[in-house]
Structure 1
């Protein structure tokens, strides 16, 4: 997975200073844009949606740094801000910080001082974005869980709209669904704006048809609005299509009054994810037997999101789930226990979504500090899953899959019978799959070596009986004399076909 390159916009009317900042920051690995004054910067920020940091002088022609900062905050542009000036005072710094600046850089400054300020701001932004991403995962999981608890379209519609109101806090929301004639029909309206204001409702209805036809979301506010009929568009509006495998299902529109904060591109992105999940649910509302499969597809998507961070673990979670299912079946576990095993197998590493890429993909041995961070992934996984009530029986398995029989594991150091039985089973097959697969730091181990490691760790790291049962299955799959590589492939075929 490619590492994100953070983008910095340098704003100053001195070309030589801009060029110096650009050269230094590019050497540090940042992508750098330049603007000559606040107006120029604002135009760039309106076009470029992925700028992370603005470094702006205060004293500039046309629009100064404070005016630029104020405009950025008013427009709700998601960018951090560092102010630099040769006229710095404590009062100016305080004013900038009160307006939302992340930091303050007085001129003249040396290069190291600049880098310290920029790196500090980018680090804080990276951590904040990661927290938002984890929060979004939880919100989507909760939505998916809620939708999957209903079998009829009417209940699904009301559940979806309820989640929209809770997560986006619109003043009014309308959901249109496509009828048999492929036309949009009003399904649910909440809030007085769409109920009372016929002019705005007619406008939104027409725009919704355009959005559905084009298949692209729209964000409309007083800064982006260009239609005739409204002198100064007094709202912030999001219109998002509901698409299921390129099939048009409907449109959802959210609106806020002008005195509320504006919707942002991030709101559009999250609402699009909500709409995608809802569209799938609506399409399958009458196909009760497929609702659970859709839930598992959603779960797998988060496992794949984790694996996308590390090329070498692609398919790891699905393989662990399949191995656990077969071993559990061999042990005669109930269907509900097998379902828990499979789901826990798919989700056991979901907490790695919160682990930095450079640690996940490190080709060598982790340092003590890096390993301490890596050991946080069961806790992160539990925090994510514990907020989805239908997975309450799953998150203990995810949380404890790195515990050991002898109590030397993590995160809680449980031992022996303190460990959940299904968690001990996951631990065995997780270790087997990891050792028999390529990793960034090593190639897959030969099967005899894997068997030896498991046997030596039985009773200390892993449950002795479970190791014995699993290796018996492995050897049974390879009893025709296959070599290790072919044996593993054969084992996977046997397990997936079971």
Structure 2
């Protein structure tokens, strides 16, 4: 007998003729296959429930209780994903065509010799292996595409929309429901698909399924026969007779479960397969990690924002006239950045840079900061050091590295007469050019130790005259358009303590 290190494949032989079962079983076992046998169709169906990894079913065509073609139909309804080889002594070309049409991999007429059987089996299994290899490669590409898409998002709304789009594209469901664990329970965060619209009963049933999958931390794949419902669990079948295939997966990180996702299909589409369920499970695990990272990033951003604001408040404590200046510059810069179509990352940098742009003034003597008259040349020289001092302070914080150019260059002028480096035009980092416009606007429109806030018509004139010299001209033009809009006043609300609360601050 030949010796094999491990079984090559798992095969179920179904025939009502025991002698043929014995001959085929011995030959396939000798060839290294794991062999199971059944004497009729109903017995085979019962065995298939216990053989989820089966590769091939070899079945006689004519058998009592259930024909080979009927058994094939059951497999193709989702009972098993095994390939199917049908054999019969009553064969005809019509039978062969019908079996292939129903999804059989091949047809073997009786009588046959064992070598012919082994060749058919090996050919079918080789095609199956090639198909599985292609599926694995395709699924790897799908997971990589998901990871790449999710890695570009940091906020929960963007992550949720991207995840649902990827699920829609890869699984083509008729309904999707995403559940996340929040406030002590599982909450429906998003849903898509016509199946769930105006169907509250289905919504409640779907939530029960999502909760069970979340609680048990196990995926589920269920097929509902088109003729009559099947009992899925204690909750019963879904209250929608059009649904024939459902799969659900838990969303779990290494530390904890964070939610679940449920997909539904109706009769117009093929049932979800075990491969679909496995891929959804991988998708859910990847996305769970991305969601958890977004949550942690949000917490980190909130903590950083508190630190950043404390820096700004430390500066403004030295000069009561500039209270709220940094926050106002931050929100103005973000507003202008939104109008310019900047990315979310750039808006974050503008907002943070706005709050921190004057941090270097903490190193400027109070007598200069609060002088009620014009600064002398020497005093102005000292004041001009604050961008350099700000960069030196923030240079100690690694996460602020991308903000340093905004801090250091926000007093440069496009004509080269600014400080500290005297840069021209595009030599000045773009975000610093954006901040410069709104910083000057805010300074002119607020009270200072040496003067009251300037009237708006004067501020407009100063900005227009400085366009192309102090500030980039198109940025000035766009900013002047924005401040004329009725919505501009709603950008900020100042309470009685002088604290500024801003709307539309970019989310983490």
The structure 2 residue matched to 1:238, chosen from 240, 247, 252, is 247
Q: Counterparts of 2:34 and 2:293 in 1: how far apart (Å)? A: 44
Q: 3-state SS of the aligned residue for 1:78? A: coil
Give the structure-1-normalised TM-score: 0.55
Is 1:198 the counterpart of 2:200? The answer is yes
**In 2, are the aligned partners of 1:153 and 1:285 still within 8 Å (CA)?**
yes
Give per-residue Cα distances to partners, 1:227-248, cap 9 Å, x unaligned.
5466885421111110001401
Is 1:52 the counterpart of 2:39? The answer is no
Q: 3-state SS of the aligned residue for 1:242? A: strand
Q: Counterparts of 2:125 and 2:263 in 1: how far apart (Å)? A: 32
Q: 1:255 to 1:70 in 2, by over 3 A?
A: same
The structure 2 residue matched to 1:225, chosen from 225, 228, 231, is 231
Q: Counterparts of 1:45 and 1:121 in 2: how far apart (Å)? A: 19
Which residue pairs with 2:123 in the alignment?
A: 120
How many angstroms does 1:100 deviate by? 1.4
Which residue pairs with 1:213 in the alignment?
A: 215
The structure 2 residue matched to 1:153, chosen from 151, 156, 160, is 156
Give the structure-2-normalised TM-score: 0.54
Q: 3-state SS of the aligned residue for 2:140? A: helix
Which residue pairs with 1:186 in the alignment?
A: 188
The alignment of Structure 1 onto Structure 2 pairs a total of residues equal to: 289
Is 1:92 the counterpart of 2:110? The answer is no
Which residue pairs with 1:262 in the alignment?
A: 271
Aligned pairs for 1:454-469 (under 5 A) are: none
How many angstroms does 1:62 deviate by? 0.4
**In 2, are the aligned partners of 1:81 and 1:103 still within 8 Å (CA)?**
yes
Larger radius of gyration: 2
Q: Counterparts of 1:33 and 1:175 in 2: how far apart (Å)? A: 41
Q: 3-state SS of the aligned residue for 1:73? A: helix
Q: 3-state SS of the aligned residue for 1:253? A: strand
**In 1, are the aligned partners of 2:202 and 2:238 still within 8 Å (CA)?**
no
Q: 1:115 to 1:132 in 2, by over 3 A?
A: same
Aligned pairs for 1:96-175 (under 5 A) are: 96-175=99-178
Is 1:282 the counterpart of 2:291? The answer is yes
Which residue pairs with 2:409 in the alignment?
A: none
**In 2, are the aligned partners of 1:221 and 1:234 still within 8 Å (CA)?**
no
Q: Counterparts of 1:116 and 1:287 in 2: how far apart (Å)? A: 57
Which residue pairs with 1:80 in the alignment?
A: 83
**In 2, are the aligned partners of 1:10 and 1:55 still within 8 Å (CA)?**
yes
List gaps (5 residues or longer) in structure 2.
301-508
**In 2, are the aligned partners of 1:284 and 1:290 still within 8 Å (CA)?**
no
How many angstroms does 1:195 deviate by? 2.7
Q: 3-state SS of the aligned residue for 2:80? A: coil
Q: 1:196 to 1:39 in 2, by over 3 A?
A: same
Q: Counterparts of 2:166 and 2:269 in 1: how far apart (Å)? A: 19
The structure 2 residue matched to 1:32, chosen from 9, 27, 35, is 35
How many angstroms does 1:290 deviate by? 13
**In 2, are the aligned partners of 1:239 and 1:251 still within 8 Å (CA)?**
yes
Q: Counterparts of 2:7 and 2:166 in 1: how far apart (Å)? A: 31
Q: Counterparts of 1:233 and 1:32 in 2: how far apart (Å)? A: 38
Q: 1:161 to 1:229 in 2, by over 3 A?
A: closer
Q: Counterparts of 1:197 and 1:161 in 2: how far apart (Å)? A: 20
Q: 3-state SS of the aligned residue for 1:47? A: coil
How many angstroms does 1:192 deviate by? 2.1
How many angstroms does 1:4 deviate by? 6.7
The root-mean-square deviation of aligned C-alpha atoms, in Å, is 2.2
**In 1, are the aligned partners of 2:84 and 2:106 still within 8 Å (CA)?**
yes
Give per-residue Cα distances to partners, 1:198-246, cap 9 Å, x unaligned.
1111011012111111111112231553454668854211111100014
Give per-residue Cα distances to partners, 1:159-205, cap 9 Å, x unaligned.
00100000000001010111142x11111111122232111110110
**In 2, are the aligned partners of 1:189 and 1:195 still within 8 Å (CA)?**
no
Q: Counterparts of 2:51 and 2:192 in 1: how far apart (Å)? A: 34
Q: Counterparts of 2:299 and 2:127 in 1: how far apart (Å)? A: 42
Q: 3-state SS of the aligned residue for 2:197? A: helix
Give per-residue Cα distances to partners, 1:256-294, cap 9 Å, x unaligned.
113321112111110000000000000001445999xxx
Q: Counterparts of 2:126 and 2:299 in 1: how far apart (Å)? A: 43
**In 1, are the aligned partners of 2:251 and 2:288 still within 8 Å (CA)?**
yes
Which residue pairs with 1:5 in the alignment?
A: 8
Q: 3-state SS of the aligned residue for 1:129? A: helix
Q: Counterparts of 1:90 and 1:164 in 2: how far apart (Å)? A: 42
**In 1, are the aligned partners of 2:12 and 2:57 still within 8 Å (CA)?**
yes
